[in-house]
Structure formats: C-alpha cells, structure tokens
Chain A
C-alpha cells in the first residue's frame, strides 16, 4: 500500500490535478488489493498440513478459528493499513480534523473486505486464487460503494455519523455470518 501511495503522485503531473479530489480512490483500490493479498493464504497452510482436520475433530466446525483468523488479520494488517491511508489522506489535502473520520471509515471497511476475501480464499483453497477473486468481487463491490459514500460524507461534512453507523452495522453482520459460511466451505474441502 505504501508503495502505491508513494508511487502514484510521482507518476502523474500533479500540477494538472487536484490530488485532494481523487487521491482517496487510490487508497480504496490499494485497500482492495491488500484485503485480497492478505487473506489469499489464510486457510491454505492449515489445509495443506492437516491442521484443519485436527481442528474439525476437536471443534466440529471452524467458526471460532475462522473468526479468530479474520480478526487477527484485521488487527495486524487492516488497522495499520487504515492508519497509513489516513496519514496519506492528510498528506494530500484532507484536514487534520477529518483524519480520524477517514481512519474509522477505512477500519470498518477493512473488516468487511477481509471477511469477504477470506470467503473467496476458503472457496479456492486448492483451486487457484482466481476463483476466490471471482467469488469475492461481487461481495466486495458493494462494500467499496459504501466506503465511497463514507468518504464523500467526510469530504462534504454531511451525514458521516449515519454512514458510519450503517457501515458498522454491515460490518458486524458480515463478521457474524461470514465465518459460518466459511466454516461450511472449509468442511466441503475436507470431504
């Protein structure tokens, strides 16, 4: 993400563009890529070495381990990326007072996106990551739309609280339900 955020302004003639207006799109796209790459092998290692079988024998399903893995990924990758994105927003014209709002918006988005791409990763464990991307994108795009709405609410100073509550609600629902779906998907791979 840092590479993209640094390289982007260097690759265009910034005198011709107002970075403040569209730089955030670059952050969103970077977040999308990070969510995919970070969760690409979230379950494959445990599948390959037989740990998933042992977990299934002990727990009978994968809900707890799935939820734990996603939350750990969000905490150690998603939140820092949201922080970096917020700082780069500030570096590109967003006022300092708005930076916490950007951070909150990005953090909630990472929770949604990591869940979505973890599902794609579970689906494509031994079938190539392209299947995961194809399966995840229809679910990720509405999250991106919501994220864009959140960014506009920060930029125009209108309705940030309402959009944040909506995003938080979606994130909680996705975080509660997606591990159930992922658990069932992983079980089919064991068959």
Chain B
C-alpha cells in the first residue's frame, strides 16, 4: 500500500530549475535513498515531501491525512541553553520521556545529561537530536544527512534502528552522502533530471 505519492514534482528557484517531472511512490515499510551532488535539490525535495516547501509544480499525496512523521533536517531543533534532559522534556511528554532517556543512555549521553547542550560536541548534539527519531512512533521517518558527525558505533546503531523500523512497516526517506547499510530504493537527482 502506498504511503506517499509524488506526481510530476518540479522546483525552480531564482530561474534555476533544480528538478522537474519527478514521480515516485513509497510503500509502507519501504525506504527511499535520495542521492545527488551538492545543490541538486535533495534537501528541497525532502522539504516538499514534508509540506514545508511548496513545489513549483506537481503534488505530493499521502494515503492518510494525519500521517505521523519524524523529521531531522540540517537544523537539530535543540535548545543550546538547555541540558540534554531538559531538551528531551521539551520534546516529549511524560509518556515517551522514559523511552527517550533509555536512548540517551544507549547513545552514551548519560554522562553529559546535565551539561548545557551548547557545551556538547557536534556529534553529541547530533545524537541528542536523533533521539527525537529513535523515541518517536511514526509512520514515516525523514532524515537529511543523518550520519554526519556520528562515530562508527552510532552509525551502526542508526542503521540497525532504521532496518528494524523498515521491518515494522515504517517508511523511510533519507538523503546521505554516506551510504546507509539498509535496503532501500534510490532516487538520484542530478540538478535537472527527468528521473
């Protein structure tokens, strides 16, 4: 069953056409790896799929109106003046907070849980931001360069998590210059492509 369908998507900015006539669909439990060079429109395509950006033409349809989506883009959406625990309290209600705390321990952030997030390294902040994905129940996970800044152990953990999610019928769309170790179809953007 199709979760997301994109029909003849096109996007132009400042008279430069990034992509056009993109048509693809994503089923439940399927993954889509969007690839392409810098400036080819990968992040823009993600934002169009999420509804954050309007396409120049075409449309994106979801199989149900209240689709639960977890998204991690270039910005981490964490507050640097709060500690990791305070950030998690801000993101999650009490019901999901315990699960988030478990992930914080798994990712090795428990020893910095009371430090200001601004004092954490880039990789630690990325791990904290990824907890939003790990601890959320969603139909669709959208990730923009999720492996950047992660150490090898964390990358393996993320790959394993995404593989489990695909197996449990959660769909996945990601962009990554680092090849993910999961089974998914590929969509290549080359700056101005028909595919």
A-side residues, CB < 8 A to B, are 45, 48-51, 53-54, 56-57, 190-191
A184 to chain B, nearest CB (A): 13
A48 to chain B, nearest CB (A): 8
Known pairs A56-B52, A190-B53; A49 contacts B69 (CB<8 A)? no
Cβ B75 vs Cβ A53 within 8 A:
yes
Cβ A49 vs Cβ B77 within 8 A:
yes
Residues of B within 8 A of A190 (CB): 52-53
CA distance A105 to B76 in the complex (A): 42
The 4 closest A-B pairs by CB, nearest first: A50-B75, A50-B77, A54-B77, A51-B77
CA distance A57 to B53 in the complex (A): 12
**Nearest-neighbor residue (CB-CB) of A60 within chain B:** B51
Residues of A within 8 A of B76 (CB): 49-50
CA distance A94 to B77 in the complex (A): 49
Tell me whether B79 is interfacial, beta carbon within 8 Å: yes
CB within 8 Å of A: which of B59-106? 69, 71, 73-80
B124 to chain A, nearest CB (A): 16
Residues of A within 8 A of B73 (CB): 50, 53
B-side residues, CB < 8 A to A, are 50-54, 69, 71, 73-80, 132
Instruction: For A57, give its contact among B50, B54, B78, B80 (CB under 8 Å).
Output: B50
CA distance A56 to B78 in the complex (A): 15
A51 to chain B, nearest CB (A): 5
B117 to chain A, nearest CB (A): 10
A120 to chain B, nearest CB (A): 23
Cβ A49 vs Cβ B75 within 8 A:
yes
Known pairs A54-B71, A57-B69; A49 contacts B79 (CB<8 A)? yes
Residues of A within 8 A of B50 (CB): 57
21 of the cross-chain contacts (CB-CB < 8 Å) are A45-B79, A49-B75, A49-B76, A49-B78, A49-B79, A49-B80, A50-B73, A50-B74, A50-B76, A51-B77, A51-B79, A53-B71, A53-B73, A53-B75, A54-B71, A54-B77, A56-B51, A57-B69, A57-B71, A191-B52, A191-B53
Residues of A within 8 A of B80 (CB): 49
Residue with the greatest number of chain A CB neighbours at <10 A, chosen from B74, B76, B77, B78: B77
**Nearest-neighbor residue (CB-CB) of B53 within chain A:** A191
- Beyond the given A53-B73, A54-B132, could you list 14 further A-B residue pairs with CB under 8 A, ordered by the A residue number? A50-B74, A50-B75, A50-B76, A50-B77, A51-B77, A53-B52, A54-B71, A56-B52, A57-B50, A57-B52, A190-B52, A190-B53, A191-B53, A191-B54
A58 to chain B, nearest CB (A): 9
Residues of A within 8 A of B132 (CB): 54
B44 to chain A, nearest CB (A): 10
Residues of A within 8 A of B71 (CB): 53-54, 57
**Nearest-neighbor residue (CB-CB) of A191 within chain B:** B53
CA distance A45 to B75 in the complex (A): 12
Cβ A53 vs Cβ B53 within 8 A:
no
**Nearest-neighbor residue (CB-CB) of A50 within chain B:** B75
A47 to chain B, nearest CB (A): 9
Residues of B within 8 A of A51 (CB): 77, 79
Cβ A53 vs Cβ B77 within 8 A:
yes
CA distance A53 to B52 in the complex (A): 7
CA distance A12 to B78 in the complex (A): 49
B122 to chain A, nearest CB (A): 14
A183 to chain B, nearest CB (A): 14
CA distance A53 to B74 in the complex (A): 11
**Nearest-neighbor residue (CB-CB) of A190 within chain B:** B52
A66 to chain B, nearest CB (A): 17
CA distance A53 to B43 in the complex (A): 13
